[in-house]
Amino acid sequence: MIIIAGQGNPGPKYADNRHNVGFWVLDEIAAHYNFRPWREKFNAMVSEGVIETQTGPVKALLLKPMTFYNESGQALAKAAKFYKIKASDIILFHDEIDLAPGRLRVKQGGGHSGNNGVRSALAHLGPDIRRIRIGIGHPGEKSKVMPYVLSDFSKADQVWLDPLISACVRSLGLLCQGADERYQSEVMRLAPAPKLDPKQTG
């Protein structure tokens, strides 16, 4: 079994925020692969199912922490301990301001780059979790970061966001069989990032 988690904040107030894009991906995975209904466990919402890969079926637990973004590692650690899952079998989808909108990178190891949700996950589980960094761009000034990530995606963002989430879900078999680089390349092939804005990093 593997755990596929998403970063986000619980409740309708935050549902459309940039910070919640990890939750969006998990909702699409659950729908696309016909996972079981969401239920509460581990201070999170979880759903179980199977993802078919070229090397066979992989059982997966989807997990959306309900602890709020900055403490999301708590729920992940509880689930990992219960199922005896090692950190390298945990996949975490999260927003990334250090990547331009529409870009995606798979990362294992390294630091949290100031992302408090990732900081929590690394603190509880160590550096071996596999992180799917979904670029949302940077507002340009450090003081604007918090309002930016806690604001909703714009209508213009849907042009790249919807295809990117779809590509993340359709290519998931590669990720589940450990082909991280192929997954990253396939997602970017299916959903090329928009042209870079000079004000945005990535």
In a domain, 198, yes or no: no
pLDDT band at 198 (very low <50, low <70, confident <90, very high): very low
Tokens of 57: 């079926």
Whether residue 202 is contained in a domain is answered as no
Q: Could you give the residue ranges of the DSSP H alpha helices within the chain?
A: 21-32, 73-83, 116-125, 145-149, 158-170, 172-176, 180-190
User: Domain residues for 170?
Assistant: 2-190
Q: Could you tell me if 62 and 39 are in contact, meaning their C-beta atoms sit under 8 angstroms apart?
A: no
Region 15-40: what's the mean pLDDT? 96
Per-residue pLDDT at 199 exceeds 50: no
- Residue 70's pLDDT is 84
> Is 197 contained in some domain?
no
Q: Using pLDDT thresholds of 50, 70 and 90, give the confidence band for residue 118.
A: confident
199 inside domain: no
Gap between the terminal Cα atoms of the chain: 33
> Could you tell me the pLDDT band of residue 194, with boundaries at 50, 70 and 90?
confident
Instruction: Read off the pLDDT band of 202 (50, 70, 90).
Output: very low
Q: Which two tokens stand for residue 112?
A: 């949290």
Domain membership of residue 45 (yes or no) is yes
Does residue 130 lie within any of the structural domains?
Answer: yes
183 near 50, Cβ under 8 Å? no
Q: What is the pLDDT of residues 152-167, one digit of tens each?
A: 998 889 999 999 999 9
Q: Is residue 136 part of a domain?
A: yes
Mean pLDDT of 114-125: 84
Query: Looking at the domain assignment, is residue 47 inside a domain?
Result: yes
Please identify every residue annotated as catalytic.
19
- Give CA separation, 118 vs 47, 53, 66, 172, in Å: 21, 27, 15, 21
What total of structural domains would you count in the chain? 1
What CATH number does residue 24 fall under? 3.40.50.1470
